[in-house]
């Protein structure tokens, strides 16, 4: 009996960790050189999609410390100033969690539109922050391209998350 209870707890913990672990995996995956010519090598910000999705659907599966850890890993692996992605992802997290009520029960199109809007805001915010940190206006086009790609691949990544989410909830 006790054994099965332990297993149940372990199973429970493992399930709750899934979104976090998937996101960490996505951060590592986005660093793999894809060997594409620079013109095609647009990089969707997978961690951003993940934080948006989980903050919206079940923030308890992606608590703030998890967002912090994801941001740190991304900062370290991509070589940007430490704290940049961490700060931005936490801002996104805070924004989305506070606006959950608005998105509750809305259609997928609305959620996608919400994500697109968020991308615009965050791209501008990141451009200002990066330019301030580097003391010069950085080229904006590459940033816009990255965020546009991110918004475009949202449905695909979100679909995988929906399947994951269902799986976690069904057994929990």
Partner 1 sequence: MRHRPEHILRITAPLRGLADRFAYVFLLAAAFAILILGKADPQIFERARMTVTDITAPVLDALSRPAMTVASTIEEVKELGRLRAENQALRSHNIQLLKWQTTARTLMAENEQLRGLLGFGADPEVTSVTARVIGDSGGAFVRSVLVNAGRRDSVRKGQAAAVGNGLLGRVAEVGERSARILLITDLNSRIPVVIESSRERAVLAGDNSASPRLQYLPITTRVKPGDRIVTSGHGGVFPSDLPVGVVTTVAKEGVRVRPYASADRLEFIRLMDFGLNGMLDEMLPRDGAGKARGQLGKAAGSE
First vs last C-alpha separation in the chain: 19
The count of other CB atoms within 10 Å of the CB of residue 59 is 17
CB of 59 to partner 1, least distance (A): 8
Work out whether 58 is an interface residue with partner 1 (CB under 8 A): no
Backbone φ and ψ for 72, nearest 5 degrees, come out as -65, -45
Binding mask 11-30 for partner 1 (x = CB under 8 A): -----------------xxx
Residues 116-155 that bind partner 1 (CB under 8 A): 126, 130, 133-134, 136, 138-139, 142-143, 145-146
CB of 126 to partner 1, least distance (A): 8
Q: Under a CB-based contact definition with an 8 Å cutoff, are residues 70 and 88 in contact? A: no
CA pair distance 121, 97, nearest whole angstrom: 16
Work out whether 94 is an interface residue with partner 1 (CB under 8 A): yes
């Amino acid at each position: 009996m006790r054994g099965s209870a332990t297993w149940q707890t372990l199973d429970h913990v493992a399930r709750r960790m899934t979104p976090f672990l998937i996101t960490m995996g996505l951060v590592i995956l986005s660093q793999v050189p894809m060997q594409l010519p620079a013109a095609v090598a647009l990089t969707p910000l997978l961690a951003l999609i993940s934080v948006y999705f989980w903050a919206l659907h079940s923030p308890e599966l992606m608590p703030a410390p998890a967002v912090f850890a994801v941001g740190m890993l991304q900062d370290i692996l991509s070589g940007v100033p430490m704290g940049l992605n961490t700060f931005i992802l936490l801002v996104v997290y805070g924004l989305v969690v506070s606006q959950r009520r608005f998105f509750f029960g809305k259609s997928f199109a609305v959620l996608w539109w919400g994500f697109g809007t968020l991308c615009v805001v965050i791209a501008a915010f990141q451009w200002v922050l990066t330019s301030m940190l580097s003391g010069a206006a950085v080229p904006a086009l590459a940033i816009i391209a990255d965020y546009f790609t991110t918004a475009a691949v949202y449905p695909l990544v979100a679909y995988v998350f929906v399947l994951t989410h269902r799986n976690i909830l069904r057994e929990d």
